[in-house]
Structure 1
Amino acid sequence: MAGFLDKARIVAPRTFNRWLIPPAALAIHLSIGQVYAFSVFNEPMTRIIGIDQSAPGDWELTTLGWIFSIAIAVLGLTAAFGGRWLERVGPRKGMVVAATAWGGGFLVAALGCWLHSIWLVYLGYGVFGGIGLGFAYISPVKTLIRWFPDRPGMATGMAIMGFGGGAMIGSPLAVELMDVYAGPDSVGVGATFATMGVIYFVMMMFGALIVRVPHDDWQPAGFKPEQASGNRLQTQGHVHVDQALRTPQFWLIWAVLCLNVTAGIGVLGQASVMSQEMVGVSANAAAGFVGLLSIFNMLGRFIWSSTSDYIGRKATYSTFFILGILLYAAVPSIASGGVITLFVLCYLIIISMYGGGFATVPAYLRDLFGTAHVGAIHGRLLTAWSVAGVLGPVLINYLREFQLNQGVPPAEAYSLTMYIMAGLLAVGLLCNLAIRPMADRHLMSERELAAAAE
């Protein structure tokens, strides 16, 4: 088995069809995208003992909230510190480890539900699942970029679109399975975890089995590297992952991603309440609004990253920030005017750019740092996501509470937050505009490149 997983065993023949790689990556990302739908388990897990309603000894929602938080935290740590190992062993071994950890995490979480041990659930879905999330998220990135040097934005967009859309499959699947397994003595969560763990393991192993890497000298027909990426930031060389952290370009892109995600993730988490309070829509209409946001989050990952292949990564992010500043600044006036359609349209565009930022950044890294260590560099960059995941919701929630305590009506309580978000995006725009081509002193030598290829 070890030999089957070796990096040398997955070098593709020269007749290999590179369009088989996006389905492999999509199988991985559709599986782990389920993490965005974990909230469907929260309410049933509060009545595992009581079945029909919560009973003494049942878990509180505050206790269950840590499951998702642990998984996301471990995702970031795994991506940041596991990227170097992944570069060395190749995508197949990384995907198999991810499938085992993600699928196995569901099985351990199922055991935790059956034994009513929250610590087993934390260990299973949180720790093991988080490890699977981290390796699975970054495993396909370098492979896709190497197979599609002519369209890296489109290629990574197809995969990362799956992460945004995984919840659209995972949520109804979980609800349907819990309905099937529920009975007089069970809410069906444990059996649902076990079933989903097996399903996702099989899906991810399918991706691992068909993934291949190209020969070192392979290029698509007619491809001219000097014309790639549609911008002047294309580095004709490669930067080591450790050296990348010493460059201003890495930290500028870190800030660019963090600020773009901060502006979007707070809205995504509070979209239902915000739409009800700002424009007075019903709870059902707010649920529909949240569904639309999920669709545009997914579509934005593909459309914006594909667009970046033509206008360049720097221009794409500048578009995110300029449009975002205008939209956030306009939302309070639009909401106060009661123009619901325009309010919804503004946020759909904002969320499409939130998703597009995730999908475009791997190609941005490839432009600046080359492909030798792009997977590991991407893993370390994802710490910006972790920071934004705290910063965005805190800004939305605490500023809203502050405004309400000052006697501001609920419909106007988000106005200050929207203006602050516009200000953060202005800072992001300046960071993006400050990014310059990579200096030659940061590039790897021929000896270092040969060592990295081994």
Structure 2
Amino acid sequence: MTAITEGITDGGTGLLDRERIVAKPGFNRWLVPPAALAIHLCIGMAYGFSVFWLPLTSVIPGEATDACKSMGLMTALFTTECNWRIADLGWIYTLFFVLLGCSAAVWGGWLERVGPRKAGFVSALCWSGGISVAAVGVMTHQLWLMWLGAGVIGGVGLGLGYISPVSTLIKWFPDRRGMATGMAIMGFGGGAMVGSPLAQKLMEHFRTDTTVGVWETFLAMAVIYLVFMMGGAFGYRIPPAGWQPEGWTPPAKTRKAMITEHHVHLKNAHKTMSFWMIWIVLCMNVSAGIGVIGAASPMLQEIFAGNLIGLPGVAFADLDADQKLQIAAIAAGFTSLLSLFNIMGRFFWASISDKLGRKNTYYIFFLLGIALYASAPTFAYSGNQIIFVAAFCIILSMYGGGFATVPAYLADIFGTQFVGAIHGRLLTAWATAGILGPVVVNYIRQYQVDRGLSGADAYAATIYVLCGMLVVGLIANAFVRPLADKWFMSPEEVASLQAKSASDEAKIRHGSFGIDKGRFDLPALAAWAVVGIPVLWGAWFTLVKTAALF
């Protein structure tokens, strides 16, 4: 906070400085969500990385030797003689979300001080740079470089990019808090919907007799993502302290909805039981969903195999190379379909939570999720891929909805002053889930495969374990309570904090500061078109490719 004060008093004018992005009179708040989406659509490709797993398991041609089949994880990290296994590659996915949660927790307070533009700028460098390092890892067949690049460096970019718009949009849309958080992070859920088909097409373009096309795809996507994310970072604006939409008045305090009018300091939030109950709620919801997403592509291929291309009863191992390529394309469509429901669920459920309340919305997530997870093995054994796909689409909509609803849940309980930083600390739950979910899916699956099981049998036990995680989340949600008055800052403390971050104009004027509720004028439409066109392309691809599922 001292840095902000110094920046205001000494006239700091750097392009990334927080004081440079305080909105001026006449600004349209509807320009901010497209900036957030530009960043989140890029980093959301973390969900779609499973499309690379199977190609990366066949980089080295020929049958695997006995030494390769029995190699340990440390050997896999450095070998240039053996193909990688999905379980080895899956750790990149785990690192994504471990580093996302850790970086969000560590640098959440920094983000509140420096503003979303600087955080978005650093996020762009880390995410694109990390993917580029991963490309070198593929070129040299060094798994540790892929872990370092995509997993560690990219994971830091994920964390900073993920939380950069949350606090900002909550403050821009106090009249629609749930919808705002839905807009803030729905792009993260849709990243795979755009990125998966793009990656598939790029790999097909770059594939030759000597390369599977993955490292070339990594480099191409790194450049594309850098451009989009920089555009999003420089599109961020923050409202003046004290701003509120013209004609809007805060609703009366409703104990039932647990919406506070006060604010909890960042240093105290984690000392409350409600923080840790919400932490468990998020961790369990994410662990269950993230495990499925991380294995979505191979799971569909191995369970339904020949059924996907009109060869009922033919197991995955009995398909030839061309047939496996066909079902890989369909599975990429399945991944994109899940991403489509993920992104729609983020906006839909978060908006619905404005009416139902956050706690009731989470009850729906857990109760309906338990029923669907428990039924999934039955759907798989029956061979009914339509019901199986539909069930996981609903599950993923609630998974995405959980992410989008939790920032509003936090704002309701802890107030908005430090909600971005508190949200960052809560994302350690995501880091934990990033270990639990993929590890449960990948290693229980591998254990079942080693026992000679295949298809639905290889995944049934895993799905039941994920179902049990939702039960734990349901119980934790019941223990979330409004906070006692002792946890809230005094009005004087809040006024002091807001005064330090207010623009000179905001210190003089009050209310809307000449900034109205916003409208879809030409600049806003252009900004939405930039992010909307890729989303529509991804949705079109998804619908075309997933037609084979039905």
TM-score when scaled to structure 1? Answer: 0.86
After superposition, the Cα gap between the structure-2 partners of 1:84 and 1:412, relative to the gap in structure 1 and judged at 3 Å, is: same
1:304 to 328, 346, 349: 349
- Equivalent residue, structure 1, for 2:364: 319
CA distance in 2 between partners of 1:294 and 1:262 (Å): 17
- Equivalent residue, structure 1, for 2:428: 383
- Equivalent residue, structure 1, for 2:258: 233
The 3-state SS of whatever aligns with 1:150 is helix
1:19 alignment partner AA: W
Q: Is the 8 A contact 2:97 2:434 kept in 1?
A: no
Moved more, 269-278 or 311-320: 269-278
Number of residue equivalences: 453
1:9 and 2:17 correspond? no
2:24 alignment partner AA: P
> Where do 5+ consecutive residues of structure 1 fail to align?
none
1:186-201 to 2 correspondences below 5 Å: 188-201=213-226
- Equivalent residue, structure 1, for 2:80: 57
- Equivalent residue, structure 1, for 2:42: 31
Please report how far the alpha carbon of residue 145 of structure 1 lies from its aligned counterpart in structure 2 after TM superposition.
0.5
Deviations 1:347-376 (A, max 9, x none): 322221111111111111111111111111
After superposition, the Cα gap between the structure-2 partners of 1:412 and 1:194, relative to the gap in structure 1 and judged at 3 Å, is: closer
1:165 and 2:212 correspond? no
The 3-state SS of whatever aligns with 1:4 is coil
2:265 alignment partner AA: H
After superposition, the Cα gap between the structure-2 partners of 1:159 and 1:53, relative to the gap in structure 1 and judged at 3 Å, is: farther
1:246 to 268, 271, 275: 271
1:399-414 to 2 correspondences below 5 Å: none
- Equivalent residue, structure 1, for 2:506: none
Q: Is the 8 A contact 2:366 2:474 kept in 1?
A: yes
> Where do 5+ consecutive residues of structure 2 fail to align?
1-11, 66-78, 310-326, 501-550
CA distance in 2 between partners of 1:407 and 1:172 (Å): 33
Please report how far the alpha carbon of residue 190 of structure 1 lies from its aligned counterpart in structure 2 after TM superposition.
4.0
CA distance in 2 between partners of 1:96 and 1:24 (Å): 12
| CA RMSD between the two structures | 3.5
2:476 alignment partner AA: C
1:214 and 2:239 correspond? yes
Q: Is the 8 A contact 2:50 2:294 kept in 1?
A: no
Deviations 1:168-197 (A, max 9, x none): 222232333344445576554444333322
The 3-state SS of whatever aligns with 2:282 is helix
Q: Is the 8 A contact 2:130 2:149 kept in 1?
A: yes
After superposition, the Cα gap between the structure-2 partners of 1:45 and 1:403, relative to the gap in structure 1 and judged at 3 Å, is: closer
CA distance in 1 between partners of 2:454 and 2:223 (Å): 49
TM-score when scaled to structure 2? Answer: 0.72
CA distance in 2 between partners of 1:115 and 1:405 (Å): 29
Please report how far the alpha carbon of residue 104 of structure 1 lies from its aligned counterpart in structure 2 after TM superposition.
2.4
Please report how far the alpha carbon of residue 221 of structure 1 lies from its aligned counterpart in structure 2 after TM superposition.
2.5
1:433 and 2:478 correspond? yes
After superposition, the Cα gap between the structure-2 partners of 1:35 and 1:276, relative to the gap in structure 1 and judged at 3 Å, is: closer
CA distance in 2 between partners of 1:340 and 1:176 (Å): 25
The 3-state SS of whatever aligns with 2:251 is helix
CA distance in 1 between partners of 2:90 and 2:340 (Å): 24
- Equivalent residue, structure 1, for 2:511: none
Please report how far the alpha carbon of residue 158 of structure 1 lies from its aligned counterpart in structure 2 after TM superposition.
2.2
2:131 alignment partner AA: F
- Equivalent residue, structure 2, for 1:256: 281
CA distance in 1 between partners of 2:360 and 2:116 (Å): 30
CA distance in 2 between partners of 1:38 and 1:274 (Å): 14
Q: Is the 8 A contact 1:261 1:388 kept in 2?
A: yes
Q: Is the 8 A contact 1:229 1:310 kept in 2?
A: no
CA distance in 2 between partners of 1:378 and 1:205 (Å): 23
Moved more, 288-297 or 142-151: 288-297
Moved more, 303-312 or 51-60: 51-60
Please report how far the alpha carbon of residue 336 of structure 1 lies from its aligned counterpart in structure 2 after TM superposition.
5.8
Please report how far the alpha carbon of residue 309 of structure 1 lies from its aligned counterpart in structure 2 after TM superposition.
1.4
Q: Is the 8 A contact 1:235 1:369 kept in 2?
A: yes
After superposition, the Cα gap between the structure-2 partners of 1:16 and 1:108, relative to the gap in structure 1 and judged at 3 Å, is: same
1:328 and 2:328 correspond? no
Structure with larger Rg? 2
After superposition, the Cα gap between the structure-2 partners of 1:280 and 1:196, relative to the gap in structure 1 and judged at 3 Å, is: closer
Please report how far the alpha carbon of residue 451 of structure 1 lies from its aligned counterpart in structure 2 after TM superposition.
5.3
Q: Is the 8 A contact 2:94 2:434 kept in 1?
A: no
CA distance in 2 between partners of 1:424 and 1:8 (Å): 44
After superposition, the Cα gap between the structure-2 partners of 1:244 and 1:280, relative to the gap in structure 1 and judged at 3 Å, is: same
CA distance in 1 between partners of 2:178 and 2:412 (Å): 10
The 3-state SS of whatever aligns with 1:61 is coil
After superposition, the Cα gap between the structure-2 partners of 1:181 and 1:274, relative to the gap in structure 1 and judged at 3 Å, is: closer
Q: Is the 8 A contact 1:51 1:186 kept in 2?
A: no
CA distance in 2 between partners of 1:192 and 1:418 (Å): 32
Please report how far the alpha carbon of residue 242 of structure 1 lies from its aligned counterpart in structure 2 after TM superposition.
2.0
CA distance in 2 between partners of 1:330 and 1:78 (Å): 36
After superposition, the Cα gap between the structure-2 partners of 1:51 and 1:169, relative to the gap in structure 1 and judged at 3 Å, is: farther
Between the aligned residues of both structures, percent identity stands at 55
CA distance in 2 between partners of 1:324 and 1:78 (Å): 29
1:84 and 2:102 correspond? no
CA distance in 2 between partners of 1:183 and 1:413 (Å): 33
After superposition, the Cα gap between the structure-2 partners of 1:112 and 1:306, relative to the gap in structure 1 and judged at 3 Å, is: same
Please report how far the alpha carbon of residue 397 of structure 1 lies from its aligned counterpart in structure 2 after TM superposition.
5.5
1:123 and 2:148 correspond? yes
1:70-149 to 2 correspondences below 5 Å: 70-113=95-138, 118-149=143-174
Please report how far the alpha carbon of residue 342 of structure 1 lies from its aligned counterpart in structure 2 after TM superposition.
3.8
Deviations 1:98-155 (A, max 9, x none): 1122222233334455566555444332332221111001101100110011112212
